[in-house]
Amino acid sequence: MTMVLHFLIQGRVQGVGFRWFVHREASELELKGWVRNTEDGDVEVVAAGDPADLADLRLSLQRGPRGSRVDRVIEHPLHDREGEGLSAFRIDGAW
């Protein structure tokens, strides 16, 4: 069963390698989706995969990489069809 979730991570999450951290964690879990910075200073993630793997990702998002400070993780389930166009996990907006 595949599940699709949207996460918004708030705190000190930009300029600390957060996107690369999420990319590594999600790739190891073989999730599909993307991560990107928002204009408001948050990090946004859409991930699709097995519910147990998404639960592992959630724990990683709450912890964050060294140097970050996660104040809040807002999570919303998305409809299954939102995951249909997703491919291997990637970083949006990276150079």
pLDDT in tens, the chain (95 residues): 789 999 999 999 999 999 999 999 999 999 999 999 999 999 999 999 999 999 999 999 999 999 999 999 999 999 988 888 899 999 998 65
Nearest-angstrom CA–CA distance, 18 and 67: 9
Q: How many domains does the chain have?
A: 1
- Residue 71: which domain range? 3-91
Q: Which residue is catalytic, options 12, 24, 36, 37?
A: 37
Q: Which residue is catalytic, options 19, 58, 63, 90?
A: 19
Those residues with Cβ within 8 angstroms of residue 95's Cβ, 6 or more apart along the chain or in another chain? none
> What is the pLDDT, as a whole number, of residue 20?
97
Could you tell me if 47 and 26 are in contact, meaning their C-beta atoms sit under 8 angstroms apart? yes
Q: Which domain CATH number covers 29?
A: 3.30.70.100
36 in active site: no
19 in active site: yes
